[in-house]
């Protein structure tokens, strides 16, 4: 039997990659709650790197996660002329900010999770960068 491998629309690919990235993002953070150092820091109102957990930190964290979540909808609904640059800029920003969190990190689960996340984000950049083009004037 010959299987047909249908081409998936670039918008669906980007949206799926953002969903996958968000799942990895969420689970890496959730797994952190199995670490005594993080739990004790959270209970004391601080995170490693001298971040105080307060209104500002939680608001900025919510904005950070919300932008990534909204990229699922942007990828599906925005026109290509907006969609492509949005995916390139946002994915590169998230790849950079995720990579920075690896500085000084020693926990292997976190290193693996963030490395997967960065790889997914760079794949988003590549897919958006190579967005299919039609004939000029079409």
CB 10 within 8 A of CB 127: yes
Which DSSP helix (H) or strand (E) runs through 119?
helix 108-129
pLDDT band at 137 (very low <50, low <70, confident <90, very high): low
Question: How confident is the model over 122-131, as a mean pLDDT?
Answer: 98
Rounded distance between C-alpha atoms, residue 33 and residue 116, angstroms:
20
More confident residue, 6 or 113: 113
pLDDT for position 6:
87
pLDDT digit string (tens) for 88-123? 999 999 999 999 999 999 999 999 999 999 999 999
More confident residue, 51 or 125: 125
pLDDT digit string (tens) for 70-93? 999 999 999 999 999 999 999 999
Token pair of 69 as six digits = 């979540």
Mean pLDDT score of the chain = 94
User: What is the secondary structure of 48-105 as a DSSP string?
Assistant: TTTEE-SHHHHHHHHHHHHHHHHHHHHHHHS-HHHHHHHHHHHHHHHHHHHHHTTTT-
- Which residues are CB-neighbours of 46 under 8 A, at least 6 positions away? 52, 53
């Amino acid at each position: 039997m010959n299987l047909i491998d249908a081409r998936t629309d670039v918008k669906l690919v980007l949206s799926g990659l953002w969903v996958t990235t968000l799942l990895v993002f969420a689970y890496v953070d959730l797994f952190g709650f199995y670490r005594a150092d993080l739990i004790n820091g959270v209970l004391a109102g601080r995170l490693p790197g001298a971040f105080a957990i307060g209104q500002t930190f939680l608001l900025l964290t919510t904005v950070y996660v919300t932008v990534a979540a909204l990229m699922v909808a942007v990828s599906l609904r925005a026109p290509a002329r907006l969609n492509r640059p949005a995916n390139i800029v946002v994915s590169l920003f998230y790849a950079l900010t995720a990579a920075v969190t690896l500085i000084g990190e020693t926990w292997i689960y976190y290193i693996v999770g963030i490395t997967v996340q960065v790889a997914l984000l760079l794949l988003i950049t590549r897919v958006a960068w190579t967005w299919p083009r039609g004939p000029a004037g079409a």
